[in-house]
């Protein structure tokens, strides 16, 4: 997809390498205010890219990332040269985040969005006990584990992969439900779910076995229940180089050894 680029806005993580790159790029290409720019260029790692995507959510702004962090799975390769032409040739990927709604020990309701995953984890030395329902039907009466996460295709190569969950192609209409160190049921290792379902998780014995819930980088402590569903209205747009597309990155990740 070709697009005409007239102005860019550069944002960077606090890392010295990212800040230095921003200075060099601004000197070469100028720097428009974010709300006036055609494209936001994010410099840093995957964590900073997630922050930028959350900031630009529902704005229609496209985000083009270049790696000045560590892993950089969500980022393109860094180069000072020919940036507008690279962005004009880039492929647009639309991310539809997960919506997380939690109820905590005081009855307070909190909402947050997750581009990568929503995960629950035990707060203490006691394993968590969770009851899991899909579209109102109980599927796990009692899951004993260290945690549980629901990942999007974009997030399937992050925490989900570290927890031995499946890698999902970006275009797959699926979500990965993956346990962290499951103890009972002993043979349950997770499930692939259609991306239109609603997942309800009830924390069992919450006083004895407190659990926190996280949507990307938003953490809610001592939750009693969590509801997760893919958003029908919120979107973020990320650009990737044609020779380094998300689909290619996900495919390559499955053949690493």
Could you list the residues known to form a binding site for NAD(+), using ranges.
46-47, 116-117, 146, 154, 157-162
Distances (CA, A) of 188 to 92, 117, 165, 181, 183: 36, 20, 12, 10, 9
Residue from 35, 46, 82, 241 carrying the catalytic annotation: 46
Cα 92 to its chain centre, rounded Å, is 17
Contact 203, 121 (CB under 8 A): no
What is the CB neighbour count within 10 angstroms for residue 218?
A: 16
Q: What is the b/e burial string over 40-68, where b = at least 16 CB atoms within 10 angstroms of the residue's CB?
A: bbbbbbbbbbbbbbbebbeeebbbbbbbb
Alpha-helical segments (H) within the chain? 16-29, 46-55, 83-89, 159-162, 246-253
Q: Identify the CA nearest to 97 among candidates 157, 57, 147, 46.
A: 57
Residue that the structure tokens 């239109």 belong to? 196
Task: Check if 82 is active-site.
Answer: no
Q: Active-site residue numbers?
A: 46
């Amino acid at each position: 997809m070709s697009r005409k680029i007239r102005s860019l806005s550069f944002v960077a993580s606090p890392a010295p390498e990212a800040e230095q790159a921003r200075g060099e790029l601004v000197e070469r290409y100028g720097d428009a205010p974010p709300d006036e720019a055609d494209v936001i260029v994010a410099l840093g790692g995957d964590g900073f890219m997630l922050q930028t995507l959350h900031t630009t959510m529902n704005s229609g702004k496209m985000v083009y990332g270049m790696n000045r962090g560590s892993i950089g799975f969500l980022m393109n390769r860094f180069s000072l040269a020919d940036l507008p032409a690279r962005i004009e040739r880039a492929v647009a990927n639309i991310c539809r985040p997960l919506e997380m709604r939690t109820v905590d020990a005081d009855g307070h309701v909190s909402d947050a969005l997750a581009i990568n995953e929503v995960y629950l984890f035990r707060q203490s030395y006691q394993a968590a006990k969770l009851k899991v329902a899909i579209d109102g039907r109980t599927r796990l009466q009692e899951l004993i584990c260290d945690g549980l996460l629901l990942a999007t295709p974009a997030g399937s190569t992050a925490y989900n992969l570290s927890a031995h969950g499946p890698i999902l192609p970006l275009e797959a209409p699926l979500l990965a439900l993956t346990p962290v160190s499951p103890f009972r049921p002993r043979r349950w290792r997770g499930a692939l779910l259609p991306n239109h379902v609603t997942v309800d998780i009830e924390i069992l014995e919450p006083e004895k076995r407190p659990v926190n819930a996280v949507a990307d980088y938003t953490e809610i402590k001592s939750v009693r229940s969590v509801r997760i569903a893919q958003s029908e209205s919120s979107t973020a747009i990320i650009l990737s180089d044609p020779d380094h597309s998300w689909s290619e990155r996900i495919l390559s990740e499955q053949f690493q050894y």
